[in-house]
C-alpha cells in the first residue's frame, strides 16, 4: 500500500487523471467535428439569372438562363430554365404599327418574371438581340426599324429587370455566338477538346461556323481566347438565304417573266393558290427583281418533282465567281468542312418533320425520302398531317430540298461528310442557338484564361477534419498511456 501511495505521489497523472484527459480530448474532437459540419454545410443553392430575347425574322423567343451564384470566379454552368415563344410574327413585321411589336412581348415577359425569384429580378440582365429580319427592315426603312426598337424597349423597361438594350446582331455575331453555345453546352471549351461546327438556318439568313485547320479569309475569321485556349473561327452569314427568303428567291425565279400562272416543282401535285406579286416582292432580297408590268397576282400550281426543284434551288446560288482557292457560293471563300457539326433551328425542325435527324441515315436515303414526300398529292399530305399548320406543311417540300442543296452544293458536304452533321434542337436541356453564347459573352462568364483551382470543396474539407480528429484522439490516447506505469511498461515490452 505504501508503494502505491509513493507512486501516486511521484506521478500525479494517475488513472483518473488520464481518463479525464482523454475525455476532454474526445469532447474537444467531437466539438470540432460538429462545428466543421454545421458551419460548413453546403448552403441552399442560390442562382443568378439572365434573359435574352431572340427577335428573329419569323418569330420572337424569350429565353431565361440561370447559373450558380457562388461558383468560383463566376464560372458556374449556365442552363436554360424557361423559354416562351411570342405569339405572332417577328418584330420586323410590325413596321406599320410599331407599338404592336412591344405589346406582343408582354405575355412571355410575364412568364419570365414568374420564373425568377423576386429578390433576383432587379439584378437580372435583360437583352434583346434582333437578327436578319430586322437587318432587312433596317436596309429597307431605317426609321421604321428605329420605331420598332423604341416600342419594344418601352415595353421591356416596364418589367423589373436590368434592361441592357436592344440591338441588331451582325450575321457574323449570330454565327459566332451559335458556335460558342454549341461548344459550351458540349463542355468542349472548358475541357479544351476539339470543337464542333455550327450550322444555323433561320427565316432570313443562314450561318456556317467552324474551326478549320487553315483559313485564308480574314474577313470571315473571328478569334476567341476561352479558358486559356485560342480558337480561330471561320464564320459566314448569308443574308437572304434563310428558308423563308430563299423561297421568295425561288418564286421570283419562276415569276421573272411576269407570268399569270406558274408550275412549281417545289410544291405538291394538286396544290393551287392565288398569290400577290406585291407581297412576293416586298423584301429587299427580291425587290429589285420584280418584273415590269407584272399583273397583281399569279396562280401558283405545284407539280412535286424533287430533281426539278433542286435545279431551281441550285439556280439561287452563284458558283462562277470565286476569287479564292475555294468558295461556298456567291464568291464567298470557305475552307473545307471538317469535323463534327451541329445543325439547329430550321435545319432541325425540317429534318425532324421527315424523321431524318439521325446522322446515321445515308444522304441518298435522305434525298429519296424528301423526293417521295414532294411527289405525294397535296390532299393526301393534308390528310396524313392534320396537326401541322398549313403555312409550314405546304413549304416542307421546298424546305427539305433547299436544306439538302444548301449543305451539299452550297457548303460542299459530301456523302461521307454529311454523316458528321447531327440535327439538334436542345443540348443537355438548353436550346441550340446564338442566345446563350450572346449572354455568356456579355456577362463575361467564359474567362479568357483558365480559372485558378477552386477552393477545397465541402466534402474534402470535412474529410480532412475527420482524419485530423482521429489522429488527435490517437495522440491523446498514446499520451495518456505513456503517463501510466503499467501501460508504459507494456509499450516498452512491445
One digit per residue, pLDDT tens: the chain, 494 residues? 454 555 445 454 455 555 555 555 555 555 555 555 545 555 567 899 999 999 999 999 999 999 998 764 456 789 999 999 999 999 999 999 999 999 999 999 999 999 999 999 999 999 999 999 999 999 999 999 999 999 999 999 999 999 999 999 999 999 999 999 999 999 999 888 999 999 999 999 999 999 999 878 778 999 999 999 999 999 999 999 999 999 999 999 999 999 999 999 999 999 999 999 999 999 999 999 999 989 999 999 999 999 999 999 999 999 998 988 999 999 999 999 999 999 999 999 999 999 999 999 999 999 999 999 999 999 999 999 999 999 999 999 999 999 999 999 999 999 999 999 999 999 999 999 999 999 999 999 998 887 665 555 555 555 665 656 556 666 656 656 665 565 555 545 44
Is 216 among the catalytic positions? no
The partner residues of 431 in beta bridges, in order of sequence, read: 426
Q: Residue 220: how many CA atoms within 13 Å on its side-chain side?
A: 24
Q: Do residues 163 and 153 touch, judged by C-beta distance below 8 A? A: yes
Query: What superfamily in CATH does domain 243-423 come from?
Result: Exopolyphosphatase. Domain 2 (3.30.420.150)
Looking up cell 445515308 gives 362
pLDDT at position 491, please?
45
For the entire predicted model, the pTM comes to: 0.85
Residue 418 is given by DSSP the state G
Nearest to 272 by CA among 312, 304, 299: 299
Q: Where are the beta strands (DSSP E) in 86-228?
A: 125-130, 162-168, 197-201, 205-210, 221-226
CATH of domain 45-168: 3.30.420.40
Of the residues 146, 147, 174, 368, only one is catalytic, namely 174
pLDDT at position 218, please?
73
Query: Which are the contacts of 13, defined by CB distance < 8 A and separation ≥ 6?
Result: 21, 480, 483, 484
Q: Do residues 473 and 26 touch, judged by C-beta distance below 8 A? A: yes
The partner residues of 426 in beta bridges, in order of sequence, read: 431
Instruction: Kindly list the strands in the beta sheet with 125-130, ordered across the sheet, starting from the edge strand earlier in the chain.
Output: 79-85, 60-68, 47-55, 125-130, 162-168
pLDDT at position 455, please?
52
Q: Compute the CA torsion angle 410, 414, 415, 420 (nearest 10 deg).
A: -90
Amino acid at each position: 500500500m505504501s508503494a502505491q501511495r509513493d507512486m501516486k505521489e511521484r506521478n500525479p497523472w494517475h488513472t483518473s487523471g488520464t481518463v479525464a484527459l482523454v475525455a476532454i480530448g474526445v469532447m474537444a474532437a467531437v466539438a470540432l467535428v460538429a462545428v466543421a459540419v454545421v458551419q460548413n454545410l453546403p448552403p441552399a443553392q442560390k442562382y443568378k439569372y439572365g434573359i435574352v430575347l431572340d427577335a428573329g425574322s419569323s418569330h420572337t423567343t424569350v429565353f431565361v438562363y440561370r447559373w450558380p451564384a457562388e461558383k468560383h470566379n463566376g464560372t458556374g454552368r449556365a442552363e436554360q430554365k424557361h423559354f416562351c415563344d411570342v405569339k405572332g410574327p417577328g418584330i420586323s413585321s410590325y413596321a406599320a404599327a410599331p407599338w404592336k411589336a412591344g405589346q406582343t412581348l408582354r405575355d412571355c415577359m410575364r412568364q419570365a418574371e414568374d420564373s425568377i425569384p423576386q429578390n433576383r429580378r432587379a439584378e437580372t440582365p435583360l437583352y434583346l438581340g434582333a437578327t436578319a429580319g430586322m437587318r432587312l427592315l433596317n436596309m429597307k426603312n431605317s426609321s421604321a426599324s428605329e420605331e420598332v426598337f423604341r416600342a419594344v424597349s418601352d415595353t421591356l423597361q416596364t418589367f423589373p429587370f436590368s434592361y441592357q438594350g436592344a440591338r441588331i446582331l451582325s450575321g457574323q455575331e449570330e454565327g459566332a455566338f451559335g458556335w460558342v453555345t454549341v461548344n459550351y453546352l458540349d463542355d468542349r471549351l472548358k475541357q479544351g477538346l476539339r470543337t464542333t461546327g455550327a450550322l444555323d438556318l433561320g427565316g432570313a439568313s443562314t450561318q456556317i461556323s467552324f474551326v478549320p485547320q487553315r483559313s485564308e479569309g480574314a474577313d470571315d475569321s473571328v478569334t476567341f481566347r476561352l479558358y486559356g485556349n485560342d480558337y480561330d473561327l471561320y464564320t459566314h452569314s448569308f443574308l437572304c438565304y434563310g428558308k423563308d427568303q430563299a423561297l421568295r428567291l425561288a418564286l421570283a425565279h419562276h415569276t421573272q417573266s411576269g407570268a399569270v400562272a406558274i408550275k412549281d416543282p417545289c410544291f405538291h401535285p394538286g396544290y393551287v393558290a392565288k398569290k400577290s406579286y406585291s407581297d412576293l416582292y416586298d423584301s429587299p432580297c427580291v425587290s429589285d427583281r420584280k418584273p415590269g408590268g407584272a399583273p397583281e397576282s399569279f396562280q401558283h400550281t405545284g407539280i412535286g418533282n424533287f430533281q426539278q426543284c433542286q435545279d431551281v434551288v441550285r439556280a439561287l446560288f452563284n458558283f462562277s465567281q470565286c476569287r479564292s482557292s475555294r468558295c461556298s457560293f456567291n464568291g464567298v471563300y470557305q475552307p473545307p468542312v471538317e469535323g463534327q457539326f451541329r445543325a439547329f433551328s430550321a435545319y432541325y425542325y425540317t429534318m425532324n418533320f421527315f424523321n431524318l435527324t439521325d446522322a446515321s441515315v445515308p444522304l441518298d436515303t435522305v434525298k429519296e425520302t424528301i423526293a417521295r414526300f414532294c411527289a405525294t398529292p397535296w390532299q393526301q399530305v393534308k390528310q396524313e398531317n392534320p396537326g401541322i399548320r398549313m403555312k409550314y406543311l405546304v413549304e416542307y417540300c421546298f424546305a427539305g430540298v433547299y436544306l439538302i442543296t444548301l449543305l451539299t452544293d452550297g457548303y460542299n458536304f459530301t456523302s461521307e461528310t454529311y454523316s458528321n452533321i447531327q440535327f439538334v434542337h436542345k443540348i443537355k436541356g438548353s436550346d441550340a442557338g446564338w442566345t446563350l453564347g450572346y449572354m455568356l459573352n456579355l456577362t463575361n462568364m467564359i474567362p479568357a484564361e483558365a480559372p485558378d483551382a477552386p477552393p477545397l470543396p465541402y466534402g474534402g474539407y470535412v474529410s480532412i477534419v475527420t482524419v485530423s480528429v482521429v489522429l488527435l484522439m490517437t495522440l491523446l490516447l498514446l499520451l495518456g498511456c505513456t503517463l501510466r506505469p503499467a501501460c508504459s511498461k507494456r509499450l516498452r515490452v512491445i
